[in-house]
Chain A
Amino acid sequence: MKRHLTVEDLARDGRFVRVNMEDRMNDPRNVGGPGAYGRDAAEQAGEGGRAGRVGLGRMVPDAPNAPDAARSLMHGIFVGEIQALEGAGRTCYDFDLGDGADQVPYALKLDMARQCWDEARHCEISVKLTEWMGTEIGEFTESPFLFQAACNPDALLRLAGVNRALEGLAIDVFNTMRDFGDKAGDPVLEFCEDWMLADEVTHVKMGSDWMRKLTVNDPERRARALEFQSVVDKLFSLGGGRSDDEDSPIRLARRFRQMAGFTDSEIDEIAEVSRQARNEAEDRVAARRAAMAAAAGSSPPAS
């Protein structure tokens, strides 16, 4: 059987449609996506939030687009669970046993096998949750970013990119959606998120533990892994939509991250990376608006 599959090698039926990050980033409209997130700039400004972030408001049930935003986000989580299953499965198979740089210990494979079991259960939960929320499988696009991070030929970087960065993002998203379910009075969403959140904390803890074990005598390799994790954290901070800020769509779940083995300084660093990503995203929007206004021969629309 082939080792080190690419995204193109993954099996999907005709219901799934992929979109890549480049297309999303090159969307000339404001930040956000179809049905994405809640309040527009005026509403956020009225609530003390920052203006100019059309489409990226707090995930609260009484936001005008809240139901579709929740459906879209949960579909994104569903396809992420599929890729997480595929990624952990590949890490079980792609590497020989051993202590070399291109090998992994048997106990690491056991952890990845346990993660496969969890992710398969999350896929089943997500399918049922999707149905509960009135969403069809494939109704929204699939972004393959999680599996792309799981394609790294270095197992340690996979753990840094997937278990520490993206499963860490999953902690933040599940925590946010659990609160959303609680506030909306949706018991199914709330409980599903709570159960999956518990598993994600374990997955991130696995990443944190293995990162330390595998690099105990190799600080350079650890530095490379942390640098890769930082890049993934910034790329997938949802344009800064995941942060410590009160008006963020996805709040950084500090307590759960601490339980998953993150130090306070590591969490602070993620918050800083998200803040940078948010500022860059807002600069991009401002530049797009200025370009649109210039093309139309008028001044930029107010934020």
Chain B
Amino acid sequence: MGKVTVTPEEFSLVFFEADRIAAVTAEIAAKVGIEPDVQVEIEEASPLGRLRVRSVEPIELWAQGGALEDPRRPRYLSERHLAQSLGRLLFRVKDRLNPDFADAPQDDDLTLQQQNIWDIYCLGRLERAGYDAAKSRWLYHFRTRQGFSDVSDAAFDRLWAADGLTWADLESVRTELAEARSAA
């Protein structure tokens, strides 16, 4: 496993510890099977929760501070949210390094539906890697993005349990859900 670098090294607006973020990121990266160095930039001034894979060569991850924050203790780090947020990104990096995801748009160009489907596929694997992935929270996210329907719930279950999917597989699910929404 390569080195994990966290920016900033010291936080002034929140009570995060860069060393802890680096340690958890390294632990997840090892479980995901990512060997190169990883750079993580945290935008501590934002309480929102956006995430982005900026680059895969080199691996650069970006997160707003709210994505790592404990909702019970504002401005403090949550190990659970840290794992869910950076774990999702690391699985996305792993996918992007796979030629089967060559057609996937850059993170900035993903639609909310595409990103959401990909998130669920990542989070299911994160849970099986031993982390609390808050399945019920993400089911609500999925329903909000993809529709409140039996078709949507069945797709969620398939994505959560899946492994070895390709970008074409994720797009196929998106098309199926879009058609179900149109039919409704």
Contacts and interface: CB of A to CB of B under 8 A. Distances in A.
A34 B74 contact: yes
A65 B71 contact: no
Contacts of B69: 34
B74 A27 contact: yes
In this complex, the interface size class of chain A, counting residues with CB under 8 Å from chain B, is 35 or more
Contacts of B137: 68, 71, 134-135
A140 B140 CA distance: 16
A186 B145 CA distance: 11
B48 A54 contact: yes
Interface centre among A71, A134, A138 (most CB of B within 10 A): A134
A89 B65 CA distance: 40
Interface in B47-97: 47-50, 65-66, 69-75
Interface string B32-59: 0000000000001111111000000000
Given A61-B144, A134-B139, A17 B48 contact: no
A24 B74 contact: yes
A36 interface: yes
Contact of A29 (B47, B49, B71, B138): B47
Interface string B134-166: 111111110111011000000000000000000
A29 B45 contact: yes
B112 interface: yes
Nearest to A40: B48
Closest 3 CB pairs of A and B: A134-B136, A134-B140, A134-B137
Contact of A67 (B44, B47, B141): B141
23 contacts: A28-B13, A29-B65, A30-B46, A33-B74, A34-B69, A35-B48, A36-B47, A54-B48, A55-B46, A64-B50, A64-B112, A65-B48, A67-B141, A72-B71, A134-B135, A134-B139, A134-B140, A140-B71, A140-B72, A186-B143, A186-B144, A295-B12, A301-B45
Given A33-B74, A34-B69, A54 B148 contact: no
Contact of A34 (B66, B141, B147): B66
B14 interface: yes
Interface in B102-131: 112
A96 interface: no
Given A66-B144, A133-B140, A34 B71 contact: yes
Interface residues of B, number: 34
A135 B143 CA distance: 14
Interface centre among A19, A33, A67 (most CB of B within 10 A): A67
B138 A134 contact: yes
Interface centre among B134, B139, B143 (most CB of A within 10 A): B143
A40 B50 CA distance: 10
Interface string A56-98: 0000011011111011100000000000000000000000000
Contact of B72 (A64, A138, A186, A301): A138
A139 B72 contact: yes
A202 interface: no
A292 interface: yes
B73 to A, nearest CB: 7
A23 interface: yes
A75 B87 CA distance: 26
A184 interface: yes
Contacts of A54: 46, 48
A187 interface: yes
A133 B13 CA distance: 30
A70 B148 CA distance: 15
Given A35-B66, A65-B49, A72-B71, A134 B144 contact: no
Given A29-B13, A186-B143, A55 B47 contact: yes
